[in-house]
Amino acid sequence: METIETSIFAAVDEKSIHFIPSCSRNVALEVMVTTQNHEKILGKEGNFLKAILAREELVSTGIGFACAIPHAKLHDIDDFFIKIGIVQGAGIDWKSVDRTPVKLIFMIGGPAIEPNRYLKILSTITEAIRKEEFRKELLSCVTAKEVLKLFERI
Give residue 46's pLDDT band: very low, low, confident or very high (50, 70, 90): confident
Q: How many domains does the chain have?
A: 1
Residue 54 lies in a domain: yes
For residue 150, give Cα distances in angstroms to 11, 24, 93, 128, 142.
14, 27, 26, 12, 12
Residue 140 lies in a domain: yes
Residues 106-115, mean pLDDT to the nearest whole number: 90
Residue 3 lies in a domain: no
Q: How high is the pLDDT of residue 5? A: 43
Q: Beta-carbon neighbour count of residue 1 at 10 Å?
A: 15
> Distance between CA atoms of 68 and 122, rounded to whole angstroms?
11
Q: How high is the pLDDT of residue 75? A: 87
8: pLDDT strictly greater than 60: yes
22: pLDDT strictly greater than 90: yes
Give residue 139's pLDDT band: very low, low, confident or very high (50, 70, 90): very high
Residue 39 lies in a domain: yes
Backbone angles phi, psi at 122, to 5 degrees: -60, -45
Q: Is 75 one of the catalytic residues?
A: no
> Among 18, 38, 71, 75, which one carries the catalytic annotation?
71
Residue 116 lies in a domain: yes
Q: What is the CATH number of the domain that holds 141?
A: 3.40.930.10
- Return the SS3 of 113: coil
Residue 2 lies in a domain: no
- Return the SS3 of 126: helix
- Domain limits for position 136: 8-152
Residue 1 lies in a domain: no
Q: How high is the pLDDT of residue 18? A: 95
